[in-house]
Structure 1
Amino acid sequence: MGDKGPFENYKLRFEKVKTEYLSHEELKLISKTYFGKEGVEKSRDVFLFACYTGLSYIDVKALKVDNMVKGVDGNDWLCLDRTKTSENLRIPLLPKAKEIINKYKSGIGLGIGRELLPVESNQKININLKIMSKACGVKKRVTFHVARHTFATTVTLSNGVPIETVSKLLGHTRLKTTQIYA
């Protein structure tokens, strides 16, 4: 062993990863397709909810009925602290996100934790996303995290929302992090 220790001959390699996101057409296709299995349908709805809120899996799973509030503007908002960064988030509920909440409203709040949506494990949702992508002919590798990229790119930035606002909605502590999504 040389003077540099056990890592003397180790070379670090950084590979730039291409971030995937769904286009407007792909988003519409997934939302309009009927998959025939209740578990796949629920996974689709939870994924679409994340596409319209920008929330990560862990934040969607942690959502409770109490996280929905009426804003001073009279509209429905989600208020929560982001799990990863503890950033306080205030997210306006877009109509499509509200539709998903309303679809499951009769079942929400009935459980011990008063969950907002029926969220399965991340692994199960990702398996179902693979099934959905294949059924819809989407060639991209769609995982739950693609929802955040879709929110940042397709839902907000491509509709003229300033990157600083998108950064706040995503709960990023640095604008540089948001620029990766853009």
Structure 2
Amino acid sequence: SDFHHYLLDEKGFSSGTITIYVSLFKKMCRIAFERGLCKNLLFAHYRVGTPKVTTPKALSMSDFIKIRDAELPEDKPRLSVSRDLFLFACYAGTAFIDTVSITKANVKVLEDGDKWLIYNRKKTGTLARVKLLPEALELMVKYEDGARDTLFPLLSTNRVRIDLITICKLAETSKTY
């Protein structure tokens, strides 16, 4: 379809993003048809292809250090929050959705004095146990707030993704992730 080619060629979207956009557009057309807003069921025979599986982009240690140590503009404090969410996820090995969902109640001190995250993963519901590294603990202390149950401020996945692209440019990493 022209829309598919527009998203691919003009916008430069990946196949996964195109699948999401086309699926949503098809759904809107179907709802419009069901409500009598259009006479034809547009895209009824158009099939959304399965997105091709891509190789994950591995972060090199040198790029990680550049991101960690990057000087960020003081007039954009959200960039620091986004970076800290990213760093915590790296140190703790958590998915982004888990990082922003983890609460203070999920932090447990075991008999040996070590602090652990014990929580159910959002995606799978499986129990996760993660020993917290000193770097992760430092980030937790930075965001201690009595008014909030979660360990960190809530930012959307898309907001953090956009901020990380900006941070990678400021840090002069070899590529954006």
TM-score, normalization by structure 1: 0.65
Deviation at 1:121, TM superposition (A): 0.9
Please report how far the alpha carbon of residue 104 of structure 1 lies from its aligned counterpart in structure 2 after TM superposition.
1.3
SS in 1 for 2:111: coil
C-alpha offsets along residues 6-63 of structure 1, whole Å, 9 cap, x if unaligned? 79xx8x7774412112122111111111211200011000110001111112111111
Counterparts in 2 of 1:13 and 1:83: CA distance versus 1, 3 Å: closer
1:104 aligns with 2:143: yes
SS in 2 for 1:44: helix
3-state DSSP of counterpart to 1:78: strand
The reply to whether residue 128 of structure 1 matches residue 144 of structure 2 is no
Which residue pairs with 2:70 in the alignment?
33
Deviations 1:109-148 (A, max 9, x none): 313xx11111311111111001011111224342xxxxxx
Q: Match for 2:172 among 137, 155, 158?
A: 137
Normalised TM-score (structure 2): 0.67
- Identity of aligned pairs, percent? 31
Task: Tell me how large the CA RMSD over aligned residues is.
Answer: 2.0
Unmatched tracts of structure 2, length 5 or more:
1-44
In structure 2, the CA distance between the partners of 1:128 and 1:46, relative to structure 1 (3 Å rule), is same
- Give ranges in structure 1 of 5+ residues lacking alignment: 1-5, 143-182
**Is residue 79–residue 163 contact of structure 2 (8 Å, CA) maintained in 1?**
yes
User: Equivalent residues in 2 for 1:5-154 (5 A)?
Assistant: 15-36=52-73, 37-105=76-144, 108-111=145-148, 114-142=149-177
Instruction: Give the count of matched residue pairs.
Output: 131
Question: What is the CA distance between 1:71 and its match in structure 2?
Answer: 1.7
Aligned counterparts of 1:28 and 1:16: Cα–Cα separation in 2: 28
Amino acid in the other structure paired with 1:78? L
Q: Which has the higher contact order (CA 8 A, sep 6+)?
A: 1
Q: Match of 2:168, as an amino acid? A: S
Q: Give the secondary structure class of the aligned counterpart of 1:35.
A: coil
Q: Residue 175 of structure 1 corresponds to which residue in structure 2?
A: none
Equivalent residues of 2:63, 2:174 under 8 A apart = no
Helix, strand or coil for the counterpart of 2:141?
helix
2:89 & 2:106 partners in 1: Cα distance? 15
